[in-house]
Amino acid sequence: MKLLIVTGDDFGASSAVNEAIEQAHRKGILGTTSLMVGAPATEDAVNRARNMEGLRVGLHLVLVCGRPILPASEVPDLIDDNGAFSTRLVRAGFRFFFLPRVRRQLAAEIRAQFEKFRSTGLTLDHVNAHNHMHLHPTVLGLILRIGADYGLRAIRLPHEPFLASWRATGEGLLRRIANDVLLWPLLAASRWRLTHAGMVCNDYVFGMNDNGNMDSNHLLGFLTHLPEGISEIYCHPATGPWPGMEAAVGQYRFAEEFAALTDATVAAAIGRLGIKCTAFGSLAAGEPR
C-alpha cells in the first residue's frame, strides 16, 4: 500500500507561511504541518491551527539557524554574540556530542520547546528538526528521552531514496546518490533507535533534494514514482516573501510550492494512483498500513 503524509514545514515563520499552510490545508492536499514554537508568527499559527480541526500539527525543533526560546543566560554555549544559534551545522554537531555543558543546555532548550508546544493545547502529531538536526545522535537521544514526557509517538526519518527521487525528477542523479550515501549511517542508526523506542516513522521522504523547488511538476513526479510504504512529501509554502526572511532561503520558490499544494491536477493524481493520505498521528494510533 502507498501511504502519503503531505507536510508544510516552518509553520509560524511568518504570516505569509501561515496563510499558505492554512489555504493548502483547506483547499489542497496538505494534511500536516510542523510548528516552530519560537518563530515571529507562532501565535498567529496556533490561532489558525485551532480553527482547523483536521490539520495535524507537529513540533519543528529549532536548534541551529534560529533563536532559542530560553533566555540567553540559560543557553550561552548554544548562541553567538547576537543571541542566535549557530549556522555552522558541523561545528554545532561536534559541540553537541563532545561538550557536556553544551548537552545540558541543549536538553534544556529542547524541553522548553516541547513545553511551549504543550502550552498551545494542540495535540502533538510528530517531531522533526530544522535542517534535520534530529538525525544527530545526541539530539535524537534527547528528543526520545524528553519527548516521552510529552506524548511523543512519531518522528520524521529524512530518507530520500535516490533512485525513486531521480526517476521522479530526472535531475541530479549524482547529487541524490551522494546525499543518500552520506546520510546512510545516520539514517540506519536513527531507524534502529526509533524502532526500538516504539516510535512511528515514515519509510521515505521527498523534498530534501529539491528543497524550495517543490512545484507541481515535482509533486506529480514524486506521486507517480512513490514507492510502497509510508512516504512523506514536505514543502515550504508561503504566499510570498516576508520581512526578515533568511538569506539562505531567498531562492526558495515559496509561491510555486503553495500553488502545487492547491493544484487540482496534483490532488487528482493522488486519487488516480490509488495513494492513501494519512498522518503520523493516525499511524501511531493504529491505522492499518
What does the block give as the cell for 113? 520547546
**Does the CA dihedral 276-282-284-289 come out positive or negative?**
negative
For the beta carbon of residue 53, count every other beta carbon within 10 angstroms. 6
Residue pLDDT, tens place only, 160-192:
999 999 999 999 999 999 999 999 999 999 999
Residue pLDDT, tens place only, 190-210:
999 999 999 999 999 999 999
In eight-state DSSP terms, residue 274 is T
pLDDT attached to residue 248: 53
Residue ranges of alpha helices (H) inside the chain are 15-27, 42-50, 89-98, 100-119, 137-147, 162-169, 173-196, 216-224, 254-261, 264-272, 280-284
pLDDT attached to residue 245: 73
Helix (H, G, I), strand (E, B), or coil: what is residue 137? helix
Measured between alpha carbons, how far is 134 from 281 in angstroms, rounded to an integer?
A: 19
Residue whose grid cell is 502533538: 124
User: In sequence order, what DSSP letters do the residues of 196-213 get, joined into one string?
Assistant: HTT-B--SEEESSTTTT-
Mark residue 60 as left, alpha or beta (left: phi above 0; alpha: psi -120 to 50; beta: remaining).
beta
What does the block give as the cell for 97? 556530542
Helix (H, G, I), strand (E, B), or coil: what is residue 271? helix
Residue whose grid cell is 504566499: 239
Structural domains of the chain ordered from first start: 2-58+125-133+153-284 (3.20.20.370)
Residue pLDDT, tens place only, 62-118:
999 999 999 999 999 999 999 999 999 999 999 999 999 999 999 999 999 999 999
pLDDT attached to residue 250: 64
Q: Which has the closest alpha carbon to 125: 232, 43, 226, 223?
A: 232
Residues whose CB is less than 8 angstroms from the CB of residue 86 and which lie 6 or more positions away in sequence, other chains included? 64, 65, 78, 79, 80, 92
Residues whose CB is less than 8 angstroms from the CB of residue 170 and which lie 6 or more positions away in sequence, other chains included? 221
In eight-state DSSP terms, residue 226 is P
What pairing do the DSSP bridges indicate for beta strands 32-35 and 56-61?
parallel
pLDDT attached to residue 268: 99
Residues whose CB is less than 8 angstroms from the CB of residue 179 and which lie 6 or more positions away in sequence, other chains included? 160, 162, 208, 209
Residue pLDDT, tens place only, 207-264:
999 999 999 999 999 999 999 999 999 999 999 888 877 765 667 899 999 999 999 9
User: In sequence order, what DSSP letters do the residues of 91-117 get, joined into one string?
Assistant: HHHHHHHH-HHHHHHHHHHHHHHHHHH
